[in-house]
Amino acid sequence: MHSLKNMFLFMMAMTFIVLYFVWSSQGREVRGKSEPPEKFFLCHFSYEDMRNTVQSDSLPTIYFITPTYPRREQAAELTRLGQTLMHVPNLHWIVADDNQACNDMVTKLLKKFGIPFTHIASPMPEIYRKAETIPRGVANRRAALNWIRKNVKSGVFYFGDDDNTFDLELFDEIRDTKKVSMFPVGLIGDYAVSSPVLKEGKIIGFFDSWPSKRKFPVDMAGFAVNIELLLSHPNASMPYKAGYEEDQFLRSLGVTIGDIEPKGKSCTQILVWHTQTTKKPVPVLKFRTRPDNSLRELYEELHFLGMADYSRSKGVISYVTKDGVTHRL
On the question of pLDDT at 13 being above 60, the answer is no
Q: Is 246 a catalytic residue?
A: yes
State the DSSP H helix or E strand holding residue 16, giving kind and residue range, or none if neither: helix 2-31
Q: Which of 35, 246, 261, 300 is catalytic?
A: 246
User: Strand, coil or helix: what is 64?
Assistant: strand
Cα angle at 211 between 252 and 262, to 5 degrees? 65
CA dist., res. 229 & res. 181, Å (int): 12
Rg over alpha carbons for the chain, rounded to the nearest Å, is 25
On the question of pLDDT at 226 being above 90, the answer is yes
Q: Residue 280 — pLDDT band, cuts 50, 70, 90?
A: confident
Overall average pLDDT of the 93-105 stretch: 97
208 is in an annotated binding site: no
Cα angle at 282 between 131 and 304, to 5 degrees? 110
φ and ψ at residue 93, rounded to 5 degrees = -95, 120
Number of Cβ within 10 Å of residue 244's Cβ equals: 19
pTM, to two decimals: 0.85
Strand partners, 207: 195
Q: What is the pLDDT of residue 324?
A: 83
DSSP string, 70-134: -STTHHHHHHHHHHHHTT-SSEEEEEEE--SS--HHHHHHHHHTT--EEEEE-PPPHHHHTSSS-
Residue range 27-68, pLDDT digits in tens: 333 334 567 788 899 999 999 999 987 677 789 999 999 999
**pLDDT cut 90: percent of the chain above it:** 67
Residue range 152-172, pLDDT digits in tens: 999 999 999 999 999 999 999
Q: Residue 15 — pLDDT band, cuts 50, 70, 90?
A: very low
CA dist., res. 127 & res. 96, Å (int): 19
Q: What is the 3-state secondary structure (H, E, C) of 189-200?
A: CCCCEEEEEEEC
CA dist., res. 236 & res. 10, Å (int): 45
On the question of pLDDT at 245 being above 50, the answer is yes
